[in-house]
Structure 1
Amino acid sequence: MLDHTDMSILHELSKNSRIKMKELGEKVHLTGQAAATRVAKLEDSGVIEGYTIKVNNSKLGYLIHAWITIYTKSTYHQPYLSFVETQENYVLNNYKISGDGCYLLECKFPSNEILDQFLIDLNKHVNYKLSIVINKL
Structure 2
Amino acid sequence: MLDHTDRRILEELSQNSRITMKELGGKVHLTGQAAASRVVKLEDNGVIEGYTIKVNEEKLGYPVHVMLNIYTKNTHHQPYLSFIKTQDEYVINNYKISGDGCYLLECKFPSNETLDQFLIDLNRHVNYKLTVIINKL
- The normalised TM-score by structure 1 is 0.99
Report the AA paired with residue 106 of structure 2.
E
Cα separation, 1, equivalents of 2:28 and 2:8 = 6
Q: Which residue of 2 aligns with 1:107?
A: 107
Report the CA distance between 1:76 and its aligned residue: 0.2
The residue matched to 1:81 in structure 2 has which SS? helix
Kindly report which structure 2 residues correspond to 1:3-42, keeping only aligned pairs within 5 A, or say none: 3-42=3-42
Cα separation, 2, equivalents of 1:21 and 1:135 = 34
The residue matched to 1:69 in structure 2 has which SS? strand
Q: Which residue of 2 aligns with 1:53?
A: 53
Structure 2 residue 118 is matched with structure 1 residue 118:
yes
The residue matched to 2:101 in structure 1 has which SS? coil
Q: Which residue of 1 aligns with 2:66?
A: 66
Cα separation, 1, equivalents of 2:100 and 2:41 = 39
List structure 1 segments (4+ residues) > 6 angstroms apart after TM superposition: none
C-alpha distance after superposition, 1:82-108 (max 9, x if no partner):
100110000000001111100000000
Cα separation, 1, equivalents of 2:136 and 2:10 = 23
- The normalised TM-score by structure 2 is 0.99
Cα RMSD of the aligned pairs, angstroms, is: 0.4
